[in-house]
Amino acid sequence: MPSSGRFLFGGFKVVYEYANRLVNDGFSVNIIYPLAVTWKRYSLMYKVKRVYHYSRALLKSSYKPEWFKIDARIKQIWLPFLSNYFIPKSDCIFATGWETAVFLNRYHIDSRKKYYLVQSFEDWCGPREKVAETWKYPMKKIVISPCLKEIADKMGENSILIENGFDFEAFPLINSIESRNKFSVIMLYHEWELKGSKVGLKVLEKVKSQYPQLQAIFFGTPEQPKSLPDWITYHQSPPDLFKLYNAASIYLGTSFCEGFGLTVGEAMQCGCAVVCTDNGGYMTMAKHETTALMSPIGSADGLAKNIIRLIEDDCLRIKIARNGYDNIKNFTWERTYCKLKALIEN
């Protein structure tokens, strides 16, 4: 792993889901957390925090993220750094981020044992040329969306498309789509600029100016922003996120870039009509005018107009929500895991 799993990230959630299913199927699974993959680009304060949390993890008998239940049979290993000496002998070793792929490429093991789970083109957390270089390493590359497969194809690199799955027990549809308050909108709040939260706030302010009865729900891992208007309810790391989705009529997806976009799928599972940007990850599940209403990345006007369309047209809102719900049922974890398992066994 590129770091600890203290905070909820979609990519970490996918890794943990795979790990649980593998160990339940009889595989022996280790999850490796290095103190740091590289120190070069981090501030002194960040380094101090990493050492602090690493030390705390070592003092505990086991480390477990509080937001995900990891099977007790999985061995979670904290290491000072990545090296051949520390990594347990394995039939398969997975890199889960571009920096860990750099280290895996240097390991003196058969390249057929090396796997690279590519969940995004990670130029948002590393130099573009360095990230692109990792896509050319001699290891089996697994991509999670057609847009990432297209990037690999343009590079002339082989990749295996295994789209993410969804847990339909964790995110059930409990409130009827038809009876929901059409003025209720839910959105993920994130401090990273590429997640588009500032754009999302502008979108909702535009809609609010036309429909004062608009109700907005934000959820996320950061603390509540101090400048958040009082008409927006904020939930930090909600334990029952599916209840918030089910309380809303519309989900607003604002990201500039996504490798997949789990929250769009979760919202569809719970019966929300999706309004989102047309980034490649979202488009794995969102089809304009069918399973979602889509707008150009960064277009506050376009997103606001699409929300207003759904508010003013109940039939369209219900159709988009129903189509999204029916479509997302094709993305099961059972299907996803079977593809990964077959790749390993072959």
| Tens-place pLDDT, residues 53-104 | 666 666 654 456 788 999 999 998 888 778 788 888 899 999 999 999 999 9
Q: Are the folds of 10-165+332-345 and 184-328 the same?
A: yes
- DSSP-derived secondary structure letter, 196: T
Q: Note the pTM of the prediction, 2 decimals.
A: 0.91
Task: Tell me how far apart the alpha carbons of residues 204 and 87 are, in angstroms, rounded to a whole number.
Answer: 48
Q: What is the second-level CATH architecture of the domain 184-328?
A: 3-Layer(aba) Sandwich (3.40)
Count Cα atoms within 13 angstroms, Cβ side, for 185.
Answer: 31
pLDDT at 87: 86
SS3 86: coil
Q: Which residues, 6+ apart, have CB-to-CB distance to 206 below 8 Å?
A: 300, 301, 304
Give φ, ψ of 36 to 5 degrees.
-160, 140
Count Cα atoms within 13 angstroms, Cβ side, for 160.
Answer: 15
Domain ranges of the chain: 10-165+332-345, 184-328
- Cβ count within 10 A of residue 7: 13
In sequence order, what DSSP letters do the residues of 27-71 get, joined into one string?
---EEEEES-S--TTS-HHHHHHHHHHHHHHHHSSS---TTS---
Cβ density class 183-221: b for 16+ within 10 Å, e for less: bbbbbbbbeeeebbbebbbbbbbbbbeeeeebbbbbbbe
Beta strands in 152-284 (DSSP E): 160-161, 184-188, 215-220, 232-236, 250-253, 273-277
Place of tokens 């790391």: 237
pLDDT at 84: 80
Q: Where are the alpha helices (DSSP H) in 135-261?
A: 146-154, 197-210, 241-247
pLDDT at 336: 98
CATH number of 10-165+332-345: 3.40.50
The residues of the chain scoring below 70 in pLDDT are 36-44, 46-47, 49-51, 53-64
Tokens matching residue 284: 């794995």
pLDDT at 165: 97
Place of tokens 């680009």: 41
